[in-house]
Amino acid sequence: MALSAAIQGGRAGAARFRPDRIGLVISLVALGGLCLPFATVKPNRILAGVAKTILEALPQTGSILLLAVLFVAITIACLRSPAWLRLGASVLVLLALAGAIGVSGIVLTPSGNPYARVAPAAGFWLLAFAMALLTADALTRLRPGPFGRVAALAATAVVFGFILKSGLWDNLSILKEYAVRADSFWAAAAAHVELALGSLVAAVAFGLPIGILCHRVPKIRDAVLNALNIVQTVPSIALFGLLIAPLGWIAVHVPGAKAIGIQGIGMAPAFVALFLYSLLPVVANTVAGLAAVSPSANDAARGMGMTERERLFQVELPLALPVIITGIRIVLVQNIGLATIAALIGGGGFGVFVFQGIGQTAIDLVLLGTVPTVALAFAAAVILDAVVELLSTPSVRDSAP
Amino acid sequence: MIDIDTITKRYDDTEVVSDVSLSVPAGSIAVIVGTSGSGKTTLLRMINRLVEPTSGRIRIDGQDTHSLSPHVLRRKIGYAIQGHGLFPHRTVAQNIATVPKLLGWEPARIKQRVADLLTLFQLDPAAYGPRYPSALSGGQQQRVGVARALAAEPAVLLMDEPFGALDPVIRAKAQDDLRAIQRRFGTTIIMVTHDMEEAIHLGDRIAVMDGGRLLQYASPTEILTAPATGFVESLLGAADRPFRLLSLTTLADVVEPGTADGAPLSADATARDGLSALLWTGRDAAPVQSADGAPLGRVTRARLMAAARLPGQAPV
Ligand SMILES: Nc1ncnc2c1ncn2[C@@H]1O[C@H](COP(=O)(O)OP(=O)(O)OP(=O)(O)O)[C@@H](O)[C@H]1O
Ligand SMILES: [Mg+2]
């Protein structure tokens, strides 16, 4: 007893001097980031740029300050420090990085040259990536509940909004791309959300009843799921192509179809394609969720005298809901990504900037399309994960004070 | 009054319930016993039409169960499913309120009923009502399952091994509570159990099933003293029969005039407990007193042993 306690004590003592393995890896990534250029200055949006280190990109006090917080954070990351300390340190560095890149934009932009571009370079991205990892790791260790995670997301969004509004980043290349196309950016954002969310709503409206039907009539289940599986395997660009002919025909031959925007290219085929891709996850998860409802709960529902309808709405669907919402989460994240492709057939969305940027070899423009897409998908995943967790653990929720 | 009339259930080629007829008088308890797979659950579920019989009829108070649509029929019949079957997404209180809600009771009445039932089953309504079933022990879940079956004050109650997960102390208490509820409301109960003690203790009549057939349907005493087949005899546990028989008699039935030394026994204790007390204290006789302490006479070991003997068997 005493001996084992002593050994345990010894272990605990040794642990204090053992480095934190994840922190060590993150620190190596951050140190790698320090060796790479922090920002690049390009004469215009297409030409190759000149790389600048942190010392060159920032005023002296600025670079010393940034390096100081960075080294404090790395030290904290390498030691076995409490999670809240790691979180605080990494968030502090992220804020410092956000400020620093804004300042280098101001410092490095030659005055009176409207074509020059300052962009974050590999070093900045690597540092930001390392600190984001540290934040994510610390958050995971803190195990925030669903509300905590959504609150963290909201706080992040507010900070970003504040920085963007303040004009701190206005000299950075992405925001310069944004500045010249602010109107089309928000139109693209609206189209993107409309495509991703609209096709999801349509897929849920059709997929949920189809899933319920498949559950109740096992004979049609395999046929329906196989058909949807096949749709899922058609490459998106091919599916757009396949839809052009029938939708074009409908536009010409069905009165009124053209008036509501149905045509061979544009939003309609993109919407239909996303809808078709969304059906499988929604239907499959509805079927899986309903199938997982415990037979005894179903049996009790029947035994209590519930009608089929009451059993569906009061027992089966509530119990299957977490699985169904998981399907919806998959669809939404998938759709937000896939909606980018819609630009290829004139469907709009953030993909417009991506493909324009590729065409013009203007990487900043590609980023203007990519960054909001990734942010949207990330936010959707966090929010829907929280919803799933809230729905699936009534007992945990109940026992909370 | 439940009338089961030549009922048969066949799945493909196998008959799991064969030509069973029995009737349960209103306000009495019938207990179905039998080995696993003998068709007890199937027989029970044909009463509320969770299983549709292949042939035969069932009448409740003279009314054919097929004259009502299934959900209307089931709302009138309490059903405690084998292994509780509580809804995991609903609290204990919501679970118990299921049928009253389906029947459209007033919220205040439902709330009162839920609280009454939880109290009846020794679960504090304030503490247990808002909990989810996953936060209850197996025994508590079973009690909530029975409370849910009783919620709408059904005239008929079907119970499939309702007390299987309870420890002996709680089980005995739950049995007594069920007896009390049944007496108070005149509920007609059909209950499936594997526990012979429970069958003899609770049943007004016991139905013994084997391989889908009803072997015997009779009062506990008759089943014990005149088992219809060797199977019935073995199911009852031949070695325990005298003690089971004694457990059906109270000391009030065997008390005789006279006095005896030592601690008095209560008249409403079972003869089995009386014999046990005599054997344990090494006495030949003990005084018997009524519940309020009035002396009634005495009980002797010889009298108790005679009561444990197969009727008609002459003493040696
Ligand atoms: N839906 C079904 N299809 C085919 N066979 C069934 C079906 N339901 C039950 N059976 C069979 O009917 C027989 C009786 O089952 P039942 O559930 O009535 O037994 P039981 O007496 O309640 O058993 P236990 O004591 O184990 O609960 C079993 O052999 C079972 O396999
Ligand atoms: Mg059974």
Closest to B89 (Cβ–Cβ): which among A300, A306, A318?
A318
Which numbered atom of ligand 1 lies nearest the CA of B12? Answer: 4
Cβ(B11) to ligand 1 under 6 A? yes
8 Å CB contact between B74 and A303: yes
Confirm or reject contact between B83 and chain A (CB < 8 A).
yes
- At residue A39, the 3 state secondary structure works out as strand
| Mean pLDDT value of segment A140-147 | 89
Report the percent of chain A where pLDDT is more than 90: 53
The chain-wide mean pLDDT, for chain B, equals: 91
C-alpha B22 to ligand 1 mean position (Å): 20
**Ligand 1 site, residue B42, Cβ cutoff 6 A:** yes
Q: Which of A9-13, B82-86, B97-101 has the lowest mean pLDDT?
A: A9-13
All residues with CB under 5 Å from ion ligand 2: B 41
Which residue, A277, A292, A294, A276, is CA-closest to A324?
A292
Measure A250 CA to nearest chain B CA, in Å: 46
| A272: helix, strand or coil | helix
Give A382→chain B minimum CA distance, Å.
24
pLDDT in tens, A86-120: 999 999 999 999 999 999 998 888 877 778 888 89
Residue of B75, B89, B91 with shortest CB distance to A305: B75
Please give the Cα distance from B201 to B273 (Å, whole number).
14
Q: What is the 3-state secondary structure of B169-223?
A: HHHHHHHHHHHHHHHHHCCEEEEECCCHHHHHHHCCEEEEEECCEEEEEECHHHH
pLDDT above 70: residue A393: no
Angle between helices A182-216 and A218-233 (to 10 degrees): 150
- Nearest Cα of chain B lies from the Cα of A317 at a distance, in angstroms, of 11
Nearest ligand to residue B9 Cα = 1
Rounded to the nearest angstrom, the minimum Cα separation between B294 and chain A is 48
| pTM as predicted | 0.81
Query: Probe ligand 1: pick from B38, B160, B194, B210, max atoms within 8 Å of CB?
Result: B38
Beta-carbon neighbour count of residue A165 at 10 Å?
A: 8
**Minimal-distance CA residue of chain A relative to B92:** A395
For residue A268, is pLDDT > 90? no
Phi-psi region of A70 (alpha: psi -120 to 50; beta: other; left: phi over 0): alpha
Min Cα–Cα distance to chain A from B108, Å: 21
Range B203-216 average pLDDT: 95
Helix A173-180 and helix A363-392: axis angle, to 10°? 90
User: What pLDDT, on a 0 to 100 scale, did the predictor assign at position A396?
Assistant: 42
Average pLDDT over residues A117-130: 91
Domain boundaries, chain A: 2-173, 182-399
End-to-end CA distance of chain A: 37
Joined tokens for residue B196? 């012979």
| Per-residue pLDDT, B241 | 83
CA–CA distance from A348 to each of A358, A378, A398, B56 (Å)?
16, 21, 45, 68
Q: DSSP character for B239?
A: G
Nearest to B234 by CA among B196, B280, B200: B196
**Cβ–Cβ of B79/A296 closer than 8 Å?**
no
Do residue A294 and residue B148 have CB atoms under 8 angstroms apart?
Answer: no
- Give the atom of ligand 1 at the shortest distance from the alpha carbon of B34: 21
Does residue B14 belong to the interface with chain A, where contact is any CB pair within 8 Å?
no
Per-residue pLDDT for A13 more than 50? Answer: no
Residues of B in contact with A315 (CB under 8 A): 87, 89
CA of B213 to the centre of ligand 1 (A): 13
Distance B40 CA to ligand 2 centre (A): 6
Ligand 1 mean position to B40 CA, how many Å? Answer: 8
- Ligand 2 centroid–CA B168 distance in Å is 21
Centre of ligand 1 to C-alpha B183, Å, is 31
- Please state, rounded to an integer, the average pLDDT across all residues of chain A: 87
- Decide if pLDDT at A338 tops 70: yes
The answer, yes or no, to whether residue A369 has pLDDT greater than 60, is yes
Taking only the tens place, the pLDDT of each residue in B294-304 is 888 899 988 88
Look at B71 and A306 and tell me if their CB atoms are within 8 Å: yes
Which residue's CA is the nearest one to ligand 1's atom 5?
Answer: B11
Which ligand approaches the C-alpha of residue B38 most closely?
1
DSSP notation for A148-207: HHHHHHHHHHHHHHHHHHHTTTTTBHHHHHHHHTHHHHHHHHHHHHHHHHHHHHHHHHHH
Q: What is the dihedral of CA B265, B267, B271, B277, to 10 degrees?
A: -10
> Nearest ligand, CA of residue B32?
1
| Contacts B192 to A, Cβ<8 Å | none
Supply the pLDDT for residue A3: 46
Q: Is the pLDDT of residue B316 over 60?
A: no
| 8 Å CB contact of B74 and A303 | yes
Q: What is the pLDDT of residues B212-263, one digit of tens each?
A: 999 999 999 999 888 999 999 888 877 788 888 888 888 888 888 988 888 8
Percentage of chain B exceeding pLDDT 90: 58
Q: Using the predicted structure, report yes or no on whether residue A372 has a pLDDT greater than 50.
A: yes
Contact A173, A364 (CB under 8 A): yes
- What is the model's pLDDT at position B164? 82
Name the band, by pLDDT with cuts 50, 70 and 90, for residue A5: very low
Tell me the average pLDDT across B105-127: 93
Nearest ligand to the CA atom of B51: 1
Distance of CA B215 to the CA centre of its chain: 19
Ligand 2 centroid–CA A310 distance in Å is 26
B102 lies within 8 A of chain A by CB: yes
pLDDT band at A163 (very low <50, low <70, confident <90, very high): very high
**Quick one: pLDDT band at residue B25, thresholds 50, 70, 90?**
very high
Per-residue pLDDT tens over the stretch B269-280: 888 988 998 899
For chain B, give the percent of residues with pLDDT over 70.
Answer: 98
Residue B131 to residue A395, Cβ atoms within 8 A? yes
What is the model's pLDDT at position B176?
86
Tally of CB atoms within 10 A around A397: 14
ipTM given for this complex: 0.85
Q: Ligand 1 mean position to B41 CA, how many Å?
A: 7
Query: Which of A296, A304, A313 to probe the B interface (max B CBs under 10 A)?
Result: A304
Which residues in chain B touch residue A301, judged by CB atoms under 8 angstroms apart? 87
**Structural domains of chain B in order of their starting residue, each with its CATH number:** 2-237 (3.40.50.300), 244-307 (3.90.1280.20)
Chain B touched by A306 (CB under 8 Å): yes
The first and second tokens of residue A223, run together, are 């046929």
Q: Is the pLDDT of residue A46 over 80?
A: no
Residue B235 distance to chain A (closest CA, Å): 29
Judged by a CB distance cut-off of 8 A, whether residue B104 touches chain A is no
pLDDT tens per residue across span A376-389? 999 999 999 898 88
A241 pLDDT more than 90: no
How far is B29 from chain A, CA to nearest CA, in Å?
Answer: 20
- CATH 1.10.520.10 for the A182-399 domain, yes or no: no
Chain B stretch 28-57, residues whose beta carbon is closer than 8 A to a beta carbon of chain A? 48, 50
Buried b / exposed e along A12-23 (16+ C-beta atoms within 10 A): eeeeeeeebebb
pLDDT at A4 over 60: no
> Model confidence at B96, in pLDDT bands (50, 70, 90)?
very high
pLDDT for A10 beyond 80: no
Average pLDDT over residues A309-331: 93
Residue A6 has pLDDT above 70, yes or no: no
| Residues in chain A within 8 Å Cβ distance of B98 | 304
pLDDT of residue B229: 92
Q: What is the pLDDT of residue A397?
A: 43
Pair B80, B160: CB distance under 8 Å: yes
Q: Which amino acid is at B266?
A: S
A49-95: pLDDT as tens digits: 888 888 888 999 999 999 999 999 999 999 888 999 999 999 999 99
Using 50, 70 and 90 to split pLDDT, how confident is the model at A325?
Answer: very high
Q: What percent of chain A has pLDDT over 70?
A: 94
Touching B: A residues 307-336, CB under 8 Å: 307, 310, 315, 318-319
Q: Taking the mean position of all CA atoms in its chain, how far away is CA B254?
A: 25
CB contact under 8 A, A319 and B88: yes
Q: Which residues in chain A are closer than 8 Å to B105, comparing Cβ atoms? A: none
> Do residues B29 and B36 lie in contact, with contact meaning Cβ atoms separated by under 8 Å?
no
- With beta carbons less than 8 A apart as the criterion, state whether B161 and B40 touch: no
In this predicted structure, what is the pLDDT of residue A202?
95
Cβ of A302 within 8 Å of Cβ of B74? The answer is yes
CA distances from B51 to A263, A303, B16, B71, B94 (A): 54, 10, 12, 13, 26
